Amino acid sequence: MNYLIKNANSVFCAQQDIKDIRVQNGVIEELGIALSPLPGEEVIDATDCVIYPGFVNTHHHIAQSILKGIPSGINDGLGDWLANVPYRYWPQITPDVMYASAKLGFYELLRSGATTCADHHYLYHANSTQELEDAVWQAADEMGIRLVLCRGGATVKGTHKGLAKAGVEPESAQMMIDRLESTRSRYHQEGGRAMRKLVVAPTTIAHSSTPDDLRLLSKYARSQKLRMHSHMLEVDFDNEQSLAKYGKGIVEFAESCGWLGEDVWFAHLVKATQQDINRLAETKTGIAHCPTSNCRLGSGIAPVIDMAQTGMPISIGVDGSASAESGSMLQELNLTWLLHRTQHGPKATSLEQVLEWGTKGGAEILGLEGVGIIREGFAADFVLYDINQPRLSGCHDKLMSPLMAGEPSYVKTSFVNGKVVYQHRDEEQYQYLVAEVRDSIAKLNKRVSILEG
């Protein structure tokens, strides 16, 4: 299907006064004003809408979409929270539960304006099955979202609280690589506008793999031209453990294992020092900034302003809904805009800069070319926000009103790769998710209760 989107209030792009977007064969064919429909085009009226490039979420844990608000972890910091929430539940997640969680998570992203999700999927162990991962790919296909699966897992039980308690046996490095290769051959697509990408992503650099295993994984990733991702410096514990075990700070340790470079990005980096930032910037290693989760767990605020000024690639992620109670990229961008002003003053962040971090910046970090910008020849990944709403009616800057106001958002229509994947008028069709998620939570709680006696 080809489309002509007409009469937008405004469009976030380099060209001025754009009102219309022509989409053909999944690509933005033409931008302009008062464009006339071509034969066979479906016209979509964008009156009272502003149009953004689709948000590119560079760090998520989609399995956590059904682990929101677990009472035992509400007031925990990262270490105890890991033991009490994700590590307690994830070994009991079955493929059908994973599928329901993924459908819910992708729905939340789409309705907030995201069109790409990098899911750090770490539900792997020696006896795990491929079906658990297949459920994520299936859900992404059905929801229409662009998926970058960051294949996590551990090769040792590690030093974070909870993994040993979870009662699972880690994979060997060779098993992880063999399974990565199986996924790569089945799902990974080449090309800058691919709908499916695979990333090598051991769960943590500091805790879940040995130095030799990390080197094997980086060698494999680069031999297959796959990007690399992990958690780092969400809390000081990463650096403390790296110094104790290897006599090196965690950034220096990562570099010694081949885990810095323009093909690598890390989630969080809350505790990065200026020395760390300088080295990350020199190597073009990027960040997925996850402000809501970092606030929720009391981890702190990542020094993103210093990172940007030093030249690090910046992107934004929602992290897992178990530590954010949300899967909204609009919320993350809104909080990014606000949070750093509390530390550096009102000129620290601009709306335009934050919007670029959440779109173009994310696409570049994920290695997606021709994505993240509204430009002729780029993928038709964009979102129509309906601003004809009471809560936005008093906002003078119409283009920036969704980002300034934050949630709740009013997405009229979302396009991914030139296809309509979400329309607000069809919102009721997602009501089935409530029953599916309720049933999945009941199954999950029953399995955990039996295990814990």
Task: Give the H/E segment covering residue 147.
Answer: strand 146-151
Residue 453 is predicted with a pLDDT of 64
pLDDT at site 166:
63
Residue 401 half-sphere exposure toward CB, CA atoms < 13 A? 26
The SS3 call for residue 91 is helix
Looking at residue 36, its pLDDT comes to: 97
User: What size, in residues, is the chain?
Assistant: 453
Model pLDDT, residue 278? 98
Q: What is the pLDDT of residues 401-436, one digit of tens each?
A: 999 999 998 999 999 999 999 999 888 889 999 999
Domain ranges in the chain?
A: 2-53+376-429, 55-365
Average pLDDT, the chain: 95
Does domain 55-365 fall under CATH 3.20.20.140? My reply is: yes
pTM of structure: 0.97
pLDDT tier, 452 (very low <50, low <70, confident <90, very high otherwise): confident
Closest C-alpha among 142, 122, 103, 137 to residue 61: 122
Task: State pLDDT tens for residues 243-278.
Answer: 999 999 999 999 999 999 999 999 999 999 999 999
334 three-state secondary structure: helix
The continuous run of DSSP H or E covering 49 comes out as strand 49-53
Q: Who's near 124: CB < 8 A, 6+ residues apart?
A: 132, 133, 151, 152, 153, 154, 171, 176, 179
Q: Is the pLDDT of residue 164 over 70?
A: no
**CATH of span 2-53+376-429:** 2.30.40.10
Segment 7-11 shows an average pLDDT of 98
pLDDT in tens, 328-365: 999 999 999 999 999 999 999 999 999 999 999 999 99
CA distances from 258 to 75, 218, 281, 286 (A): 36, 6, 15, 15
Average pLDDT over residues 113-141: 96
pLDDT value of residue 138: 98
pLDDT band of residue 449 (cuts 50, 70, 90) is: confident
Residue 450, class by beta-carbon neighbours within 10 Å (0-12 exposed, 13-18 middle, 19+ buried)? Answer: exposed
